[in-house]
Amino acid sequence: MEKDQLGRLLLLLGLTFAFCCLFFYVPDRLGSLPLKRVDLFSELRTTGHVAAIDTLTETWLAEDTVEVDSLALQRAAAEKAGMDSLALAVRDSLYKTLYAVEGSDSTGRRVEDYSVGHVGLTRFFAALRNRGDLGRPVRVAFLGDSFIEGDILVADFRVEMQRRFGGRGVGFVPIASAAAQYRPTVKTAAEGWTTWSMLTDHEHPYTLSCMTFEGDTTEAFFSVEAGKRYPELDSVPCLHFLYEKNIHTEMAVSMNGTKDSFHIALPPTDSLTQWTYRHVTHRADFRLTRAKGFRALGVAMEADEGITVDNYSMRGNSGAVLERLDSASCRALNAIRPYDLIVLQYGLNVANDSVMQYGWYAKRMEGVIHHVRKCFPTADILLMGVSDRSRQENGAFYTMPSVLALLHAQRQAARRAGVVFWNTFGAMGGKNSMVSYVEKNWASKDYTHLGFGGGRELARILMEALLEEMKFYEEADGHETKE
């Protein structure tokens, strides 16, 4: 009997072990019910993955030896800052002496300036310092993908900058957007428009928004209302309606929800222009007649001083299409909305789990940077690195190794183009930080996209990194920032 009991016990243990092993192969979901895999050997399985990530981190955060055209970068820096080569060398030396910072940053607590002479943010900081004399707001443009759509990250960066440097309003708002219903900073509604996107259309000229909207009927409607989530955005003293093609369209406008409206005969044009309204406004309704063929971009809600931050996000954009920005249209935009800083945030639509070489993307983005700089010659450029992104392995989530490969390529593009780089991946916390963000409800459970909590945290870190960098400019240039 004792022998039979022992046999049964061993059989039961064997069956239990077999069932536990089989549970590893259950699907991730059963209908709408999520399932969690049982992996008896998870500790053994993750060792190789962690080692690979650590190796990539150590290799790609080391000083990069990528070849750059140092003479071209020096000429560009000298022209930008109005300094000779000796003065630029002194600034580089001073920065290294003051901060003992060289090469890549693994934390995102600092920006990495790859310009000769450390002058990558000269124009932006000068605009902030002299903002009272500009006669316009300091302007920042965020160009990105679904990572910042709905004003995630950008909203909190905008508000914190406005609290420190003044200004009001949400900035640019397109006629229509795939994320309009999720954007808490502004509400919009539109009827009678055809949307043209740079991702699918090669016929129309495009500016930073990468979209244009054309009236497809005799009447078109558009309304915009400031959100109440942030006090700095709930009303603005100035509203601009941006359009780029008109023959004979007329516009009736009502403000702040009133039934009364006034009529505007918009001047004919074939280039980007704007109609401006200067009274305190929280809502505007535009009704256009004879609208067929009329093309518009959207509105801008802002003040005439302080700082404005525009969000030009587009879902699915890798950033490479910016090579096709129309130079003439961009010059027209820059004439009416001059920018001091352009932030490029891309990568989510490029990182691929089966690809580990992104040299091709680095070259494309280097070309993009040069083209954007040509289109907006008065703006500084900051390239954001890709954020952390997780993949599921054996029931758990880990950083995709391709994220590190893409981060390295983006840093190379910034280095070769001589612009400023910010390590978003490092600012999140580095390896497996997306898992932590999801646990804190700072990111969505696709382990790819930020939530507003995560955006608020990254906006804070980015702003602190920029303000820390600004201290060097004050020290080197002998200025004090007005607040």
Q: What pLDDT is stored for residue 86 in this prediction?
A: 82
pLDDT, residue 66, reads 67
Q: Is the pLDDT of residue 472 over 70?
A: yes
Q: What is the pLDDT of residues 291-310, one digit of tens each?
A: 999 999 999 999 999 999 99
**pLDDT higher than threshold 80 for residue 433:** yes
Q: Which residue has the higher pLDDT, 434 or 96?
A: 434
Burial class (CB in 10 A: 0-12, 13-18, 19+), 267: exposed
Structure confidence at residue 149 as a pLDDT band (50, 70, 90): very high
The CATH fold of domain 172-304: Jelly Rolls (2.60.120)
72: three-class secondary structure by DSSP: helix
Higher pLDDT, residue 399 or 94: 399
* 171: CB partners within 8 A, 6+ apart: 158, 300, 301, 302, 308, 309, 310, 311
What is each CA distance from 247 to 59, 93, 290, in whole angstroms?
Answer: 58, 57, 9
Q: Where are the extended beta strands (E) located within 227-294?
A: 238-245, 250-255, 262-265, 273-277, 283-289
123 three-state secondary structure: helix
Between CA 134 and CA 376 the distance in angstroms is 17
Q: What is the pLDDT of residue 259?
A: 86
Residues facing residue 300 across a β-bridge = 172, 240
- Helix, strand, coil percentages in the chain from 3-state DSSP, rounded to 5: 40, 25, 40
Stretch 451-466: mean pLDDT, rounded? 96
Residue environment code for 142-164, b if the CB has 16+ CB neighbours within 10 A, otherwise e: bbbbbbbbbbbbbbbbbbbbbee
pLDDT recorded at residue 110 = 93
Q: What is the mean pLDDT of residues 272-282?
A: 96
pLDDT given for residue 353 in this prediction: 81
142: which 2 tokens?
């965020």
Contact 309, 142 (CB under 8 A): yes
Strands (E), 303-445: 307-313, 341-345, 380-384, 390-393, 396-399, 420-422
| Mean pLDDT value of segment 270-296 | 96
Query: What is the rounded radius of gyration, in angstroms, for the C-alpha atoms of the chain?
Result: 26
Band of residue 141 on the pLDDT scale cut at 50, 70, 90: very high
Write down the pLDDT at residue 375. 97
Residue 48's pLDDT band (boundaries 50, 70, 90)?
A: very low
3-state secondary structure of 300: strand
According to CATH, the superfamily of the domain at 54-167+305-483 is: SGNH hydrolase (3.40.50.1110)
Do 54-167+305-483 and 172-304 fold alike per CATH?
no
Looking at residue 63, its pLDDT comes to 47
Do residues 272 and 244 lie in contact, with contact meaning Cβ atoms separated by under 8 Å? Answer: yes
Hunting for tokens 């709930």 — which residue is that? 234
pTM across the whole model: 0.86
Query: What is the rounded CA–CA span in Å between residue 63 and residue 52?
Result: 19
B/e letters for 235-266, b = 16+ CB within 10 Å, e = fewer, are bbbbbbbbbbbbeebebebbbeeeeeeeebeb
Q: What pLDDT score was predicted for residue 47?
A: 44
**Domain boundary assignment for the chain:** 54-167+305-483, 172-304
3 state DSSP class of 465: helix
Q: How far apart are CA 88 and CA 31, in angstroms?
A: 62
Q: Over the stretch 186-245, which tens digit does the pLDDT of each residue have?
A: 999 999 999 999 999 999 999 999 999 999 989 999 999 999 999 999 999 999 999 999
Q: In this model, does residue 65 exceed pLDDT 70?
A: no
CA–CA separation, 312 and 170 (whole Å): 12
Helices 154-165 and 452-477: crossing angle in degrees, nearest 10, is 40
Residue 39 has pLDDT above 60, yes or no: no
Taken in order 196, 201, 206, 208, is the CA torsion positive or negative? positive
Q: Rounded mean pLDDT of 363-371? A: 97
pLDDT over 70 percentage in the chain:
87
Q: State residue 80's pLDDT score.
A: 78
- CA angle at residue 425 from 424 to 430, to 5 degrees? 140
For 66-97, the pLDDT digits (tens) are 667 777 777 777 777 778 788 888 888 888 87
Number of neighbouring beta carbons within 10 Å of residue 436: 14
List CB contacts of 113: < 8 A, sequence separation 6 or more.
Answer: 95, 119, 120, 121, 420, 421, 469
Per DSSP, helices labelled H in 82-232 are 85-99, 122-129, 154-165
pLDDT, tens digit (0-9, with 9 covering 90-100), for 322-350:
999 999 999 999 999 999 999 999 998 89
Predicted local confidence at residue 59, as pLDDT: 54
